[in-house]
Amino acid sequence: MEAGVVNRKITQGLERISKAFRVLLWEESKLYKISPIQIQLLIFCDTHKKENLKVGFLATEFDLTKATVSDSIKVLLKKELLVKKVNPKDSRSFLVELTAKGKKIVKKASLFTSALNESIDYLSEIEKGVFLKQLMQLIYQLNQKNIISTQRMCLTCYHYKKEGNNHYCNLIQKELKNTELEIDCLEHKEL
Ligand code: SF4
């Protein structure tokens, strides 16, 4: 079969999955009367380093303008889901932190991908590993073309080493199975 035809089918498949993700996120955000991006910002705040939770970093992370992120943050502050914190490294900017109310929403909202998770569970462990690795290669290529701006994956990490088909993390000094490759690692260090 012609390569272009296969590529189109894969692209269509990815588009359908992306649509499912948007629908699930939209349904969830309606429950809390906030926008899908605001839900994603709250979830991000729960799972990432405190020093990164500032407008500029969030804008880069979500490929949005600072003004858009700033507007969303204002809503979340007003709804008392986030609170402002002094940025010890720069007194001209501020950091945000989840409030107890925000944490409660994150706990419930994080489950919004459960339908996708259940579907992924139809794959075997080996299939999941291969899928994850291929997904990362695709993300890597998109990053190289400046379409996806940030990534904290093993493939772009200073600590990552590839030996043949094997992966190794120099930081934890451990061989990584395909399923152990990280896609958003807090210890990631740019090359
Ligand atoms: S530090 Fe994290 S991203 Fe880097 S190689 Fe190790 S596991 Fe992968």
CA 32 – ligand 1 centroid, Å: 35
Of 180, 132, 141, residue with least CA distance to 160: 180
Pocket lining: 175 vs ligand 1, CB cutoff 6 Å? no
Pocket lining: 136 vs ligand 1, CB cutoff 6 Å? no
CA 178 – ligand 1 centroid, Å: 13
Domain-embedded: residue 13: yes
Domain-embedded: residue 138: yes
Per-residue pLDDT of the chain (191 residues; tens, 9 = 90+): 677 899 999 999 999 988 988 888 888 888 889 999 999 999 999 989 898 899 999 998 888 999 999 999 999 999 999 999 988 888 888 999 999 999 999 988 878 788 888 989 999 999 999 999 999 999 989 988 888 876 789 989 999 999 888 999 999 999 999 999 999 898 999 88
> In this structure, what CATH number is given to the domain that contains residue 58?
1.10.10.10
Of 63, 2, 3, 75, residue with least CA distance to 35: 75
Q: How far apart are the C-alpha atoms of 126 and 42, rounded to whole Å?
A: 32
CA 115 – ligand 1 centroid, Å: 28
Residues 96 and 141 in one domain: no
CA 157 – ligand 1 centroid, Å: 6
Pocket lining: 155 vs ligand 1, CB cutoff 6 Å? no
The parent domain of residue 79 ranges over 3-111
